[in-house]
Structure 1
């Protein structure tokens, strides 16, 4: 496991279970939709670790909602207009496989618009934590909820950002809200593709240039011509 390897290297590793979105306490709609609470959980946990001994530079990594948590700690902020449109039902929310009917369960707890407004009060605040110095995302979720522009980009704030994978593109009438699909986001950096198996020495790839020789007869693959 990556966490065990990091611990053996002398790093302190922390994995969080967020209330309402874990296998211990069960699922609650807020655990999937109140995503602004997640970076607050991490900051609280860092405070507790700092009581044990001083913290060095912190890196945050996460998958899906955890990926959003990581960049929120680096300064990414939520667009409350988009968030309101989704939670109020004005913009359709695709089913979340882990919690089908999550929006219906949410509206049972928050049946009127006023209660939703109160619930998301402060959701667009800056929840960055200065101790977090680098972030890494895997298949980031809720990208459509993020504020556009330099203020919403952790890379623009001087944080090293790695991103692996991205969600499916958004289709339909909610494209006007920049993709409110909970698992859609334009990737800043894609994962490197696995290397393809090269043909045997001397073989010519269909449509590609012939191999060339260097020194002692060693065959090298010629670089394919780039389209102009």
Structure 2
């Protein structure tokens, strides 16, 4: 039986809530989920939960255990390596296109975003930092003026959300502020080689930090 438009909208809302909880770590890697427990947690019937879990499985967030429930698919070292490789490919392409296509005002706005990054931060402000960081990188990609690149980049960044949340605990915030400002200045100067060099170094620092501090998390 097909869902009504209201039911479909409700299922999408529950899907977004569960996905958000997986991405921000409220639902952890390897956690076992059941319809009954989630229906109780989100205060809804089992129908939108079932629909949401089916969608999350199809998108690779969950593994179905027939007649039992769902397992949150852990992030592996292979997942991390491939996502970081794709992020480098997309950000280098975006930076090059931004330098060729964006106007001066667009590039100067990137520096303003970099300046908004805090040099010090409290634990409860980590989500705010991640939002500002994402805003900077997405603004750079949007400055490429390539809508398909923007869409694909958004998918890659979503796949990295759980890793980046873990990484935030190990960041040196003054260094992050300086790094983003350097990237912005290289873009403003329309220096393609320097921008690419800074971006690659910045992205690989994520890989280095996570392997240094939580190597067990990213085992194959």
Please confirm whether the aligned pair reaches a TM-score higher than 0.5, indicating the same fold.
Answer: no
TM-score (norm 1): 0.26
* Structure of larger gyration radius: 1
Higher-RCO chain (CA-CA 8 Å, sequence separation at least 6):
2
Structure number with higher helix proportion: 2
Structure number with higher strand proportion: 1
TM-score (norm 2): 0.27
